[in-house]
Amino acid sequence: MKLTKEQIKEIKDLQSEENVTKRVIAPELEKVLYEAIPVLDHGFIRVIDYMGDDTSVVQSARVSYGKGTKQVSTDSGLIKYLMRHWHSTPFEMCEIKYHVKLPIFIARQWIRHRTANVNEYSARYSILDKEFYLPQSQHLAAQSLNNRQGRGSILTGEKAKQVLELLKSDAEQTYSNYEKMLNQTYEGNIIDEKATGLARELARMNLTLNTYTQWYWKTDLLNLMNFLRLRADQHAQYEIRAYADVMMDTLKKWVPITYEAFLDYRVGGTEVSKKGKSVIKKLIKGEEINLENSGLSKREWNELMDAFDQKDKII
């Protein structure tokens, strides 16, 4: 991750500000407010602003005055109840805003979560930085043979070297052409405004998807957890999971009680269908149950057995 002197100074200036407020604050999140937390090779995540905390969830659920109860255990019990029974509105009362720098191909995956307010860096107005995402060798993998949107075995040796060289050379070549079409050269973020060339909105079309972009992404607590439940999962693409892991840490700093309930009921829990519930009941009773008489498909059966660590029963 590379920040300019101006960006570093801006972050320090923001963090040095002392503001008096009557609103609730999250002390641990305040410690990293505005800080650029590195992700991947050139990316970062910054918490820019937030509204509410755990007590705001409790206050909303009870439609009460003030900051919830005096006993943390009581607030914790209510938040767990809300999470356990899939209540949503109280969690929507808290919001958070991130500044994210990420590769374009991850941005296009991320934007599928249509539950946030997004404002992206404009390549029609400004020139994109000369920065590209290049995977580390341990993240270079072949296409999975049984998962159309997943990775298989890790590439090694000359094959891995060739792929990295192709990614780098393609990105550098297209950026060079981008500069030529603009008739402008990116040099320390100083652009010759007198230069004339192809319109920026057209020149950008030639850039590779591993070029970095930036945006502000604001969402509520409920939809943040929905995002993290999918993107911090071990089956999610590594690159977006890297961002989700950092966001998980900010969630913990912001709403620690909600975070623990989220880990318990969403991340660590599992959903079971009516037929699946019947299978589990029979297993507990010691009755004979298998794929053929379970009423489940092979995939459903294996997912259920995997969720309850019945590895010997996976087919």
> Model pTM?
0.87
Q: Is 61 helix (H, G, I), strand (E, B) or coil?
A: helix
Residue 188: the pLDDT is: 45
Share of the chain above pLDDT 70, in %: 90
Contact 207, 220 (CB under 8 A): no
Which residues carry out catalysis? 231
Residue 69: the pLDDT is: 57
E strand or H helix that includes residue 193: none
Torsion of CA 119, 125, 127, 133, to 10 degrees: 20
Ranges in the chain, pLDDT < 50: 188-189
User: What would the two tokens of residue 255 be?
Assistant: 């709403």
Q: How far is CA 293 from the centre of its chain?
A: 40
CA torsion sign, 218 to 224 to 226 to 228? positive
User: What would the two tokens of residue 141 be?
Assistant: 């993998």
Residue 218: the pLDDT is: 98
Q: Is 256 helix (H, G, I), strand (E, B) or coil?
A: helix
